[in-house]
Structure 1
């Protein structure tokens, strides 16, 4: 059994979706699924997490519509289930967006700790006009959105871009 391809974008706006994203491991599962389906065993191995833990958190993501069953395969007397993201990109909107940022950044920090090579991480505070900040956000969004997946034979990379205004 194989389901249709994931959507290009999914708007994350409901309380149920934000609640499902309330744990850093769920973000990491979404990172790991990237553009490619995987089994619970494959995800557990790549994230160094127990299969039961992965199964539980995948179930929460699936119930919220963020992960879907991609296909099933018959193997040695059993059935392998492959999961994938419901969309290639998620757009965060609404009241839960700010609350979710902390959990998402915890997941990114865990990914960075276990990453290979030297990640690029630049933090800069600079004074900008409102218009400059809007333009920067727009350009960064366009740059990230324009990236094309190079295929399953290439290494997976995480990309995070943010423009924010610190408290005064």
Structure 2
């Protein structure tokens, strides 16, 4: 594969209306999940996500226009050129007003991933009374734990990790 640019950034702040609009479809979240740590072609992504190549190409274009996906490289195959795509950042930081609006779509994407998951995923939903201080400390610890995880490399299985602490309506 011919490399087309720099390595993905460590973090990308997701704050613009264009970025949140790009995340307005669950398949786009799933594309970002699938591109996790390694580049892939449209054909590879279509197979992995069980959808048509044209569908993948369209949604990749939306993500690329929003700066969330970039061309990673190309490879010559049987008279054509395969393009490999990757995330433009390893971690996306969600800020601003669009953060809350995007939650439902992100959870739809995670639900779709869980439906096709292998093994038994851990899902623990609990409501508990906490002080503001306890909730803040819990959020900080969980965020630190997830941020401290190191990728084991391309030979290992990919796992999704979703962590949330929220205060339900009374």
TM over 0.5: yes
- Residue equivalent to 1:4: 6
- Residue equivalent to 1:130: 132
Give the gaps of 5 or more residues in structure 2.
none
TM normalised by structure 1 equals 0.99
Structure 1 segment 4-153 matched on structure 2, within 5 A = 4-153=6-155
TM normalised by structure 2 equals 0.98
Count how many residue pairs are aligned between Structure 1 and Structure 2: 168
SS of 2:153's partner is coil
SS of 1:91's partner is strand
Structure 1 residue ranges, 4+ long, deviating more than 3 angstroms after superposition: none
Deviation at 1:125, TM superposition (A): 0.4
